[in-house]
Every structure is written in structure tokens, then in C-alpha cells.
Structure 1
């Protein structure tokens, strides 16, 4: 997309063509705010041709709740994340409290109005809110967590009947990607350390 929209669309069309043959679900990740409009436009263009397609939306952006509502009206599949990019305070929430509140508001909208979505967070409070919302609004959704983080929590969620997607970096650049993800949100480093200790308790 940094090259141009046409190149990005052409590349994604190749991915979608391959995914459709294997009936694979594809998630489009979201980058910094300078690409938000383009990414959503790309999603709509591809979603009209392939419905097993989802898009990540970042709760730290002030525009996201409106974006979510529009995507839901079009039947879009949404993956809600907190967002890790440093953004201007004019367009983004800056405190953890504000981001969490917006995440929760978006999550409520998804449970009320959406049909298929992903809750991508390692935050226990937000996960617990999702569990409670699922009792009131039974919907098709999954919890999405990084491999190695909150591993002690995942079996319990599975026992409760929830679907868990474990995100595993792969390919030649898996290590730089993993380090970047940890640096983006420093709390992930603490969660990784906590998960490591929990997994090695006797």
C-alpha cells in the first residue's frame, strides 16, 4: 500500500484467489492511521467478492466506533485490537483508560449488532467483559491471542466453550516481527513474562 493502492489490491486479489480455493478465512491487518481509509476501501472492494474476509480495527482511534458501525451495516467481519501506533491526540485516545473504554464500547456494538468477529486482547478485564456479553448476546466470535502470552488463560476459555485463535509468527522474519509486537505495547512484555512463569510452575 505504501507503493500504491493498485499494487496492494493486485497482491491481495492473488491471496484471495488462493484462499477461496482452500476455503480459508483471511484477516486484513491495520497499519497506522495514514492508511486507515485506504485499508477500509480495500476491504470493501475485496469483501464484495469474498465473504470469508475480516479487517482489524484499532480502538485507540477516535473514528473507530463509527467505522465499526459502518462495517457492521455492510456485514463486515471485524477484529478489534487496542492499536499500538503512536498517533496524534487529535485523532487518537492517549490514555489506557480511554482506549479501554472505547474498546469496550466497540465490543458492545459487536455483540449487539455483528454476526462474526474477533476479540484480540490479552487484557483480563476486557476478556471478562466479552464473556459476560456473550451470555446476553450469543454470537459467533473468537478470542485472538499471541502464542506464548496468556497461555495459562487459554485452556480455561476453551473449557467454557469459547474458540481461541493462537497467533503464531512464521517465516524468515518471525523474530523481528515478534520483537516489534512486544515493543509496540510494552505491557505485552510483562504478560509474556507472567505467562512464562505460569507455564513453568510445578
Structure 2
């Protein structure tokens, strides 16, 4: 059972828990991006099991009127076992999305997997347009990747990047990453007809996206994590912005919860207060 202290950041252990959370968000006008927690599997069995769980969840979503989708990691679908396993499981998940008019986001992991992840996205989005890909602003290669994908259907999600990357592959200075993020956001609004997702809690970047939407007319959405600036999520939705909450669920919640607590001072303070108050 997930303790109350972790429920701020994790939607529950089961798909049913996650669907209940999505219904609460829907009442506030916020959509849901489900992620079943798990990554870097060293055996095929858990990767296949997670792929099947995503297929079942997409079927469940398809039977509702909820604005919800799923987001998968390459290593969760078996990339570390064999890239072919990842491609096979991704094909299964995207096939389920196509059967139920759903949407699948493909998360980006560290820079060593970027080429294979982009190749997989290209293959999938050509057969079903309800697929999106995450690109990371800290990687120096990303402007070229964005240009490569501009003529394809599907969506792109821009994030600043959270992986510890070598300096030859990525920017490490926060100001330089912010600059790269702004440049990519402008480029995405200029080039992507399918839509742009802004994966950020940064008010400055969100306001820039709103300005770019007014200038270019490109559809966009703001994606934020469960437990982070949830008041802003609801306020933006009430103001007419398409907002989606990245809501993880599953039994492998402990390491995810630890990362969320350690990455922001206010999250650590929240955890400390919860422990003290019992």
C-alpha cells in the first residue's frame, strides 16, 4: 500500500486507482497522462507485462470519455534487454491505441538511446498518428532532431532534460539550457502542425508558449507532474489552456517518490512535515 506521504506524487498501485485519480482531474478540466512505474528491466518478462498492462489501460480509457493517454519509457518496454524487444512491445501498445482511438507518448531516456527512440517513433507515427515523442532541450543534438521530425504527423513534447549527461552531449549550465528550451519552443511552434506539448512547470516558458500560440495558431498543451504546482494546473485549465498531468502509478513507486522528494526543496519540506505530523 502506498503511504499517504507518497500519494501526493503517485496515483496509486493499480490501474483502477489511476483511473479514479483521472476522474478527479477530469472534474477540474485537467487531462491525464498515465505512466506505469518501471524502467531498466534486465529480463523480458516484466517488459512484456508492462506492455500488456498499457494495452489493457488503453482499452479501459477507450470505454470512457476521459481525456487521458499513456506515456512509455523505452527501457520499460525492454530496450535494455534488446532494442528489438522494445520495438515489438511498442508496436503492441501503439496498436492498442489505434484500436481504441488512444494516444501514446514515448518518453526519452539518456542520450545513448536517442537515435533508436526517434527511429521507433518515426516507424510508429507513420502507421498511426496518435503518437508523440519527448525531446530534451539540454541535448546539443535536439535542434537537428526537431527539424528531422517536423514533417511527420504526431506531436512533440519539449522538456529541459533530467538525465546526467556528459558535456560533449549536453549543456550543463541552467541558463544555457533555458536558452535552448526557448529556441526549441519557437522552432516547434513554427514547424509542427500536429501540436506541441510543453513539459515544464516554469511560468516564463508557459507564458512564452501562450504567446507563440497566439502568433502561430499551433495547438499546444502544458504537461506537469502530479504533486507539483497543482494549483497552477487547475488555474491554467480554467483559463482555457489544455493541461495534462503526468500521473504515475504502480507498485514500483518508492524510487520515483524518492526522486520527486529530492529534486525540489519544497517537496522535501512537504515530506518532512508529513513525517513529523505522523
Same fold (TM over 0.5): yes
Deviates more, 1:128-137 or 1:162-171: 128-137
Larger RCO of the pair (alpha carbons < 8 Å, separation 6+)? 2
Distance 2:165 2:206 in 1: 25
Aligned to 1:102: 180
Distance 1:77 1:42 in 2: 14
Distance 1:49 1:168 in 2: 27
Give the counterpart of 1:114 among 192, 205, 210. 192
Aligned residue pairs, count: 192
Q: Higher Cα Rg: structure 1 or 2? A: 2
Aligned to 1:43: 121
Aligned to 1:199: none
Give the counterpart of 2:96 among 8, 18, 25. 18
Secondary structure of the residue that 1:152 maps to in structure 2?
Answer: helix
Give the counterpart of 1:124 among 198, 203, 207. 203
- Structure 1 residues without counterparts, runs of 5 or longer: 197-202
Change (3 A) 1:107 1:21: same
Provide the aligned C-alpha RMSD in A: 1.9
Secondary structure of the residue that 2:163 maps to in structure 1?
Answer: coil
How far does residue 161 in structure 1 lie from its aligned partner after superposition? 1.1
Change (3 A) 1:195 1:145: farther
Give the counterpart of 1:60 among 138, 154, 158. 138
TM-score by length of 1: 0.88
Deviates more, 1:101-110 or 1:170-179: 170-179
Distance 1:194 1:132 in 2: 34
Aligned to 2:256: 177
Secondary structure of the residue that 1:128 maps to in structure 2?
Answer: helix
Deviates more, 1:18-27 or 1:170-179: 170-179
Secondary structure of the residue that 1:149 maps to in structure 2?
Answer: coil
How far does residue 63 in structure 1 lie from its aligned partner after superposition? 0.5
How far does residue 194 in structure 1 lie from its aligned partner after superposition? 8.9
How far does residue 73 in structure 1 lie from its aligned partner after superposition? 2.2
